[in-house]
Amino acid sequence: MQYFIGISPPKSFSNRVSRFRKSWLNGQVEKAVEPHITLKAQGGLTPDESWFEDVRQACRKIEPFEVAIGNTAFFGEDVLYLEVDSSEIKKLHERLVKAIKPSEEMISQYFELDRFVPHLTLAKTSYGLSVQQLKEMAQLASEELDICQFELESIRIYQENGNGRYRKYVDIPLGSHKS
């Protein structure tokens, strides 16, 4: 059983991203997980859930904040993503890593702390697209997907269901916000 912690954008934006990705990927990526911003990767999120209360406590110390998702960018030539702009998101990421205490090896493996780049993945060559298709997809995404701005009020823990697919496990509110 694996977990990761993410941010689920507003439903209307997630739906637009899903429709856009499906037009290129025949729904492959949508079967794995909903559109999201990874906030904390799997490292240290053990099946015994001993980290769960630490995550809840870390979230109480950060009040809701603004997030913007927008421009397209690449990791190398193989991963197309939407950039995430927020002055607070890296602080939240760091607070979660400190609370969970993954090993240095896991921090390196999952590109955390100094190597953390908040983003929403649109597509990868590993999903079956060519580098040229990713470039074409980036151009269309910049035309079709408007910038999404929203107030982040909670984070989402995703749980793997045993066959490589992740689903919502639980949402945890930030600060004093109650959902």
- Judged against a pLDDT cut of 90, whether residue 179 lies above it is answered with no
What the block records as the tokens of 75 is 């990791």
Q: Are 81 and 120 in contact (CB under 8 A)?
A: yes
Confidence label for 28 from pLDDT (cuts 50, 70 and 90): low
- Could you tell me the pLDDT band of residue 30, with boundaries at 50, 70 and 90? low
111-169 residue pLDDT tens: 999 999 999 999 988 888 889 999 999 999 988 998 999 999 999 999 998 787 899 99
Q: How would you label 90-115 residue by residue, b for 16+ Cβ within 10 Å and e otherwise?
A: bebbbbbbebbebeeebbeebebeee
Mean pLDDT of 39-52: 94
- What integer pLDDT is reported at residue 27 of this predicted model? 52
How many Å apart are CA 102 and CA 100, to the nearest integer?
Answer: 6
Which residue segments constitute the domains of the chain, with CATH numbers given?
A: 3-173 (3.90.1140.10)
pLDDT at residue 141, as a whole number = 94
Return d(Cα 63, Cα 128) in angstroms, integer. 40
* 79 close to 117: Cβ distance less than 8 angstroms: no
Q: What is the pLDDT of residue 162?
A: 78
Buried b / exposed e across 7-41, counting CB within 10 Å, b at 16+?
Answer: bbbeeebbebbeebbeebbeeebeeebbbbbbbbb
Amino acid symbol at 175 = G
Distance CA 170, CA 34 (A): 14
- The predicted-structure confidence for 83-120, as pLDDT tens digits, reads as follows 999 989 999 999 999 999 999 999 999 999 999 999 99
E strands along the chain, which residues? Answer: 3-7, 37-40, 65-75, 79-85, 119-124, 148-152, 154-160, 166-173
